[in-house]
Amino acid sequence: MRSSVPLLFAAGLVTGLTAALTVPGQAQEPKAATGAPQPGSPVAEAPVPGSETRIAVLYRPVPAPSSYDAEADPEDLGVAGARMAVKDNNTTGRFTKQTFALDEVALEEGQNPVEAAKALADKGVRFFVLALPASEVLAVSDALKDTGAVVLNAGAPDDRLRGADCRANLFHVLPSRAMQTDALAQYLTLMRWRKVFLITGPTERDKAYADAMRNSARKFGLKITAEKPWTFGPLAKARGDTPTRAEAMVFTRGLDYDMAVVADEEGDWGDYVSFRTVDPRPVAGTQGLIATTWHPTLETWGAAQAQNRFRRLAGRLMRPLDYQVWAAVRTVGEAATQTRSTDPAVLAAHLVKPDFSLPAYKGVSLTYRPWDHQLRQPIIVVQPKAMVSVAPEQGFIHQRTPLDTLGADEPETACKLR
């Protein structure tokens, strides 16, 4: 029997985001994610001798666009979140006499992340945050296995990293693709938009997202009434509207669906689907209505404070990868504070215990799943200029926590930690 029980027992719209995110039995997030420990807590009463914990962040800088692009990724994407997080760690660390420092490793084109990670491990670094593709995340975690290092994945959503390719020393801060598509499917179910037209791009990442969406549709009772591959080419990179309006209308003619879901993780063509369909239908998936970890319109639960602090630090808005790297570095800081230890073995064991919690501006404190090391978290559902909802949606229940209605539950996992 499946452990996850995605039962929608109340029809209608969620009346508020706070109500949608109330998780029975789970402590609410403090108003601020950093600061002094609560009076009377063990941390407040038992400071430890001074120590410094070094956290390495491995990432690839985003190259500047060859021509003007208003939405080009900033060069410090991701690492800017780490810089804010280490400040937060040191704010909390003052009360436990712990300090934290970053080793920023901007990998050049062709540079092997394994060699860079091993060099840092030889210098005593035991905590690594990776904003890298899945294959490199696996390579680094395997290379560091015998060092006792803890590796935190902040950039690869691949479900296989939480399944057959999981690793005992690897923790996942960002949601898996399954969690993202489950969040979207819950909202479509809530709205009774049950008929989906799935449009899939040509890349392996696009196909992986489409696979996750198919699984989510089955899980939550949606019906994929039509599927088509995108065959018109990479419009965004070509800087042109290659398919004519007539071609786009033929592409969607004669189909019965409530929502078009696009699988375009490269961002090449998904934005071009809206307003080019025969029938007026909304677009969701990787563009349009999306499920993500962070968005500039998120302001509740102290998020506005985090948004403003990040903007003062980086001179720009926080993006999802910035938030994910921030959460990874904060994971180390919180675990060190809660255990009053810098031993990676102690911290790794603590992360999967029920008493670990990460305040992260999501309304509830976040925890890691012990069976696949995935960070449980609410996922926001947004359109470009506004918040729409937060998953898990109200009414989707689970015997452990509603957060486990998103992604692979324990009985479903293919992960065997090793």
* DSSP reduced 3-state for 341: coil
* DSSP reduced 3-state for 227: strand
Q: Which amino acid is at 102?
A: L
Tokens of 4: 């996850």
Do 132 and 155 touch, CB atoms closer than 8 A? yes
d(CA 36, CA 227): 53
Q: Which residues contact 138 (CB under 8 A, 6 or more apart)?
A: 161, 165, 167
Do 180 and 379 touch, CB atoms closer than 8 A? yes
Alpha helices in 113-200, H assignment, sequence order: 113-122, 134-143, 177-191
The residue among 361, 362, 325, 376 whose CA lies nearest residue 132 is 325
Do 365 and 359 touch, CB atoms closer than 8 A? yes
The residue among 406, 380, 408 whose CA lies nearest residue 20 is 380
The residue among 140, 57, 141 whose CA lies nearest residue 102 is 57
Q: What angle do CA 345, 26, 318 make, to 5 degrees?
A: 75
d(CA 298, CA 304): 7
Q: Which amino acid is at 299?
A: E
**φ and ψ of 93, to 5 deg:** -65, -20
pLDDT of residue 276: 87
d(CA 295, CA 286): 14
Give Cα 48 to chain centroid, integer Å.
33
pLDDT of residue 272: 86
pLDDT of residue 242: 54
Distances (CA, A) of 139 to 127, 143, 149, 373: 15, 6, 13, 17
Has this prediction a pTM greater than 0.85? yes
Do 226 and 197 touch, CB atoms closer than 8 A? yes
* β-strand pairing of 379-383 with 386-391: antiparallel
d(CA 280, CA 276): 8
pLDDT of residue 308: 97
Other C-beta atoms lying within 10 Å of the C-beta of residue 168: 13
Other C-beta atoms lying within 10 Å of the C-beta of residue 309: 16
Extract the residue ranges of the chain whose pLDDT is less than 50.
1-28, 30-50
Give Cα 11 to chain centroid, integer Å.
28
Give Cα 274 to chain centroid, integer Å.
25
Angle between helical axes of 79-93 and 320-339 (0-180°, round to 10): 20
Q: Which residues contact 76 (CB under 8 A, 6 or more apart)?
A: 61, 314
Q: Which amino acid is at 305?
A: Q
